[in-house]
Amino acid sequence: MAPVEYLAQLRTAGFSGVQRLGGFTNFVTSSTTRGARFVATKPLAPAEQVVAAAPSEKAPM
């Protein structure tokens, strides 16, 4: 797969924060393949998510 396909597969599986970290030259790598690294996070369950407290406007009395 191409790097972009890894990214897509990760997102499709449900991961967030998906990033490609760049690649590296593998010492047995052919001219048409290269190693690459990715990182992704399994999202927190909604109840566990820390929602940044946005300043809320008080409703007028």
Q: Binding string to another protein for residues 7 to 46, with x set by CB under 8 A, is what?
A: x-xxxxxxxxxxxxxxxxxxxxxxxxxxxxxxxxxxxxx-
User: Number of C-alpha atoms within 13 angstroms, CB side, residue 59?
Assistant: 1
Query: Which residue in 1, 53, 54, 61 binds another protein (CB under 8 A)?
Result: 1
Cα distance between residue 55 and residue 44, in whole Å = 23
| # residues near another protein by CB under 8 A | 47
Closer residue to another protein, CB minimum distance, 27 or 53? 27
Minimum distance from CB of 59 to another protein (Å)? 26
Q: What are phi and psi of 23, to 5 degrees?
A: -120, -170
